Chain A
């Protein structure tokens, strides 16, 4: 009974830590990016200040905003919060992992996106509709690639549960699986598209006409914008942690001792920092692609994940 309670407490703590740490990852990415462009970087804590500022601000809503527009920030944030609870950050075998598997995780993302797109159209500005249309185009192509990559990994681990899959990879040790390489590449490309990063979208732009994700949320301000921004930061962190869990899980705590948890925390921090640097390096050497190149980019991601699946079936299942 006691261990059960500790597990739940830990699970709740992990989910909170996940949500609390997400702006830090965004701050780290921004900071490294500035350094790589020879600019003076803002502090890694800057996203927290921005969120605090937005939370304090008065909100201005469009006159024709419906209840949907007001509900969407909570739906989006809630979906990301739930998704974050499912993903093992510093420990596996937490009870929350049983709530949902990878497919539901994809579902959470889809739910958040669906409502964001509705909110974009709800206001009736041209930018909102334009952003919603573009976001849907991207996600319609990104989702199959994401699911296919998830299936490839789940087939190896024989489960769609993230926690169990992570443990499987840990137990199997360092095995070079070609299918994992393909899936990793596919997942990385989908991450870039889904988290509105260069070359698919530019999170830093002020040019409404070029925006994808940002165009949908142009009309938001104050607390609502803070929730949506925060949700985006959580989303980036979820993708990063999922990649870490599947491909580099070493260090994650498998028992609930203080030492193991500390090791898990340090390990995941180091790995996320490394991933952040890789993301920045990728974003620095690329210009944004023309909008209609995005389908090719995501088509390639899908192809990679299919190749991963085939490789798994042909090479890795003992025949």
Chain B
């Protein structure tokens, strides 16, 4: 079924509801289909999409001369729809999707902070990405805002952010962060607790805002690929791939088969490395140091092979527009196969020890339950979604090459606790081993990089990649001379950070670290 067909009933439904939407051709956005709607119908569109069962993926805006163009992406049964509208630059007001999609809350606030679009019926008037580094009358993504910004000599303290208050006898607040112990990124967590039970958790992110969307403007294709590889360092491969996919679609560049297979190989290696490391980190958070050390060792050995084969432990900058930057030497094909077998055995042995421990089971079972209805409401992707019944994986449901020729096993769990997320990730490791084997066996010969030709000004492209955290959606638009006019990467963490707030309810405060680690949202990918 083509995307046009799968969204046809939805478009008929919109027509029946007198919601005018005009289908537009947008080759670069494929497999997504593009429709234009009136600004005043924006909220109704969200409502209809929600009723019809679409998942809300992302929204982003572009400053085009006298208007601000807003796009939102929806997904339904593996098909994607991009809806687009425009509001006048002078009065950029638009109905919100948040009443229909709770997951749209922060993305819309981000859009408001960055472009000044006012969402009229948005339930939360507080800023999100903006702390105090720029004024509330300034919008960094507008054309007239300089890339370097206009930073004050000293950034004022950001203390006027109203957290949801809690009252009652015995209720107290625990502010945690933004600077944490250990080597992790900054983010603030505000707990309200009674005794040890968490009543409410509110996150305050944005501390690692790097202005990625702004500094992408004016880069060439190679520069954008490098920048995309730094959206979130631990998923550098997936983000670089998504950005390159978007640029290649916009520029209509045909990527050689060998390059695609190598990209998938790197992406699966990245997935294995992160899952292995995180399972160890979860064990560390329940003070089972033996497991932590062993999994950390396995991850490090795995990454060293990545370095030998591709020149970088995280395989940063290995994916370039038009292909890949490094070819895989023949000798690594059998070596990587043996390595995957060895790692599979080692993980099996370790998990036999871990599974045998009641003290571990007691900590992870029933802790941090994300109910399937919450996961659905927030549109959670990746292992967080799949541990709570969200049966979706881009590699299987909207396959991009080379996954269209491979069989991708997608684990699914429904209980949504820490244990389910850990199981999902272990099963994903196993699935990745199978994929790595298939990728190595079927690796086509040929060139690894196609010539790059700058696309026409205004060309746009959409990249959809299943990174290790889940679906990454990247939008790219080119401007003059093959320079980037707009870059928007939607990291899966946008969907899982709000999930963390929900799944921690009624858990005890000391269980937060392991719950957090089982979700492991990216601060950097979210703050942009």
Binding site for B on A (CB under 8 A): 33, 36-39, 126-127, 129-130, 134, 198-199, 202, 204-210, 284-293
Within 8 A of A (CB), among B177-215: 181-182, 196
Q: Are A207 and B362 CB-contacts (below 8 A) given A38-B294, A292-B196?
A: no
B287 within 8 A of A: yes
Complex interface: chain B residues within 8 A of A286 (CB)? 288, 357, 359
Query: Which residue of A has the minimal Cβ distance to B182?
Result: A206
B26 within 8 A of A: no
Q: Contact between A205 and B509 (Cβ–Cβ < 8 Å)?
A: no
- What are 17 A-B contacts with C-beta separation under 8 Å? A36-B290, A126-B172, A127-B174, A202-B287, A206-B181, A206-B182, A208-B176, A210-B285, A210-B287, A210-B510, A210-B513, A286-B288, A288-B288, A289-B359, A290-B363, A290-B367, A292-B508
Specify which of B172, B362, B510 is in contact with A209 (CB 8 Å cutoff).
B510
Q: Contact between A199 and B290 (Cβ–Cβ < 8 Å)?
A: no
Complex interface: chain A residues within 8 A of B513 (CB)? 207, 209-210
Q: Are A207 and B196 CB-contacts (below 8 A) given A38-B293, A127-B174, A290-B362?
A: no
Query: Which residue of B has the minimal Cβ distance to A286?
Result: B359
Q: Are A287 and B359 CB-contacts (below 8 A) given A37-B290, A38-B293?
A: yes
Q: Contact between A37 and B511 (Cβ–Cβ < 8 Å)?
A: no
Q: Are A204 and B172 CB-contacts (below 8 A) given A130-B509, A209-B513?
A: no
B400 within 8 A of A: no
Specify which of A37, A126, A291 is in contact with B289 (CB 8 Å cutoff).
A37
Beyond A126-B173, A207-B513, A292-B508, 10 additional contacts (C-beta under 8 Å) are: A37-B289, A130-B509, A198-B287, A199-B359, A209-B510, A285-B357, A287-B363, A288-B359, A288-B363, A290-B508
Q: Report how far A199 CA is from B283 CA in the complex, Å.
A: 13
Q: Contact between B362 and A289 (Cβ–Cβ < 8 Å)?
A: yes
Within 8 A of A (CB), among B495-528: 508-513
Specify which of A36, A206, A285, A291 is in contact with B510 (CB 8 Å cutoff).
A291
Q: Report how far A131 CA is from B172 CA in the complex, Å.
A: 14
Q: Contact between B363 and A289 (Cβ–Cβ < 8 Å)?
A: yes
Q: Contact between B174 and A288 (Cβ–Cβ < 8 Å)?
A: no
How would residues 287 to 301 of chain B score, 1 for a CB under 8 Å from any chain A CB and 0 otherwise? 111100110010000
Q: Report how far A38 CA is from B287 CA in the complex, Å.
A: 16
Query: Which residue of B has the minimal Cβ distance to A39?
Result: B293
- A-B complex: 10 closest residue pairs judged by Cβ atoms: A288-B287, A206-B181, A287-B288, A202-B287, A126-B174, A210-B510, A287-B359, A206-B182, A287-B286, A207-B513
B453 within 8 A of A: no
Q: Contact between A205 and B287 (Cβ–Cβ < 8 Å)?
A: yes
Q: How far is the CB of A269 from chain B (nearest CB, A)?
A: 26
How would residues 348 to 377 of chain B score, 1 for a CB under 8 Å from any chain A CB and 0 otherwise? 000000000101101100010000000000
Q: Are A207 and B363 CB-contacts (below 8 A) given A126-B175, A287-B288, A288-B287?
A: no
Q: Report how far A288 CA is from B181 CA in the complex, Å.
A: 19
Q: How far is the CB of A280 from chain B (nearest CB, A)?
A: 11
Complex interface: chain B residues within 8 A of A208 (CB)? 176, 181
Query: Which residue of A has the minimal Cβ distance to B285?
Result: A207
Complex interface: chain B residues within 8 A of A210 (CB)? 285, 287, 510, 513
Q: Contact between A37 and B285 (Cβ–Cβ < 8 Å)?
A: no
Q: Are A284 and B182 CB-contacts (below 8 A) given A130-B509, A291-B510?
A: no
Query: Which residue of A has the minimal Cβ distance to B513?
Result: A207
Q: Contact between A207 and B174 (Cβ–Cβ < 8 Å)?
A: no
Q: Report how far A209 CA is from B357 CA in the complex, Å.
A: 23
Q: How far is the CB of B480 from chain A (nearest CB, A)?
A: 50
Q: Report how far A290 CA is from B359 CA in the complex, Å.
A: 9
Q: Report how far A69 CA is from B510 CA in the complex, Å.
A: 25
Query: Which residue of A has the minimal Cβ distance to B511?
Result: A290
* Listed residue (B287, B293, B297, B512) with the most chain A CB atoms within 10 angstroms of its CB: B287
Q: Report how far A288 CA is from B285 CA in the complex, Å.
A: 9
Query: Which residue of A has the minimal Cβ distance to B364?
Result: A287
Q: Report how far A210 CA is from B285 CA in the complex, Å.
A: 9
Q: Report how far A207 CA is from B182 CA in the complex, Å.
A: 8
